[in-house]
Amino acid sequence: MAPDNNEKDYAARNVAAVHTLAGRYADLYLRDFLIGPISRFAKVEPEKEAVLGVLHSPFQTLGAFFGHYAFARRGREREDVASVATTALARAAERIGEQTLIESEDAAQLWAEFVAVCEERGLKPREEQNRGTVQGILELAQEIHRLYPGTSLATWIVKGLREHQVLEPEYERIVDIRGIGPKAASTFVRDTVVLFDLEELVSPAERIYTLAVDRWLRKILPLITNEPGLEDVPDWIVAGKVAKYTRLAKAPASRFDMGVTFFGQRIVVREDRFEREFARLTESNGGDKARLV
């Protein structure tokens, strides 16, 4: 049975809303949630090119990872732990040099600095919880340097995508680090893809690695797909369905993911308001037919 006009209009409004989220709202995410925070940490201008400069540097990318991604799951502790890690990194580099730290095969020295900073600040190092993350990220940076000298965590992802059109090996290696979950790994991969303008190189099968599944992406999924029963499905199913829908809608999956997070955190705020705010978004975009499937 062919869809009636109401169903067609509903689908058209949804697709238009998806493009708005992948457009204007993704731009806001980039400004406020990515370029802004990394530029403040790295003490550079809050501009995309300046942040790209940071991500080309193996040492500065380490700092950005510790400050922005590594401890994202820690809730209230996030800022404190990230501050300890970035301070420890700076002290280790000051003691032996940035390049020597990256070239070294000893990541335990960073953990020693982490413990020392914790003691100064009256904090518990929590070795079982933190050591795997602190050492593991530096070990990965050192491993990348041995394979591809001068390559950062970010440009390593760029290299894999440009040369082999894959993201899975890099994603899996990051997830291997104790304490780094799939969401943090996907967020870093996604942000790298978007900042380096590589979305077009991401194949449909690899899109799932650029989708950081949060509560807002889960809330929007049944609304854009019009599929019931998706509330409790695993993250990989959410990512797969979003990847498929954005491909059908001819929208960039990575930017859509960013836009949904900004929309949820800054516009919706409370989960009970999500459907109402999304309805407003679809209504405001209902006449936008330019980029529809």
What residue ranges do the domains of the chain occupy? 1-53+183-293, 58-151
Look up residue 17 and give its amino acid.
Answer: A
Residues of the chain with pLDDT > 90: what percent?
86
pLDDT of residue 8: 63
- Summarize the confidence of residues 114-134 as an average pLDDT: 97
Residue partners of 126: CB distance under 8 A and separation at least 6 = none
Q: Show the CA angle centred on residue 106, arms to residues 102 and 110, nearest 5°.
A: 75
**pTM to 2 decimal places:** 0.92
The DSSP output letter for 199 is G
Gap between the Cα atoms of 174 and 110, Å rounded: 18
pLDDT band at 4 (very low <50, low <70, confident <90, very high): low
The per-residue pLDDT for range 187-245, each reduced to its tens digit, is 999 999 999 999 999 999 999 999 999 999 999 999 998 888 887 899 999 999 999 99
Quote the pLDDT of residue 293.
Answer: 27
> Which of 103, 205, 210, 89 is closest to 158 using CA atoms?
210
Q: With a cut of 90, say whether residue 102 has pLDDT above it.
A: yes
Distance CA 171, CA 212 (A): 12
Average pLDDT over residues 121-130: 96
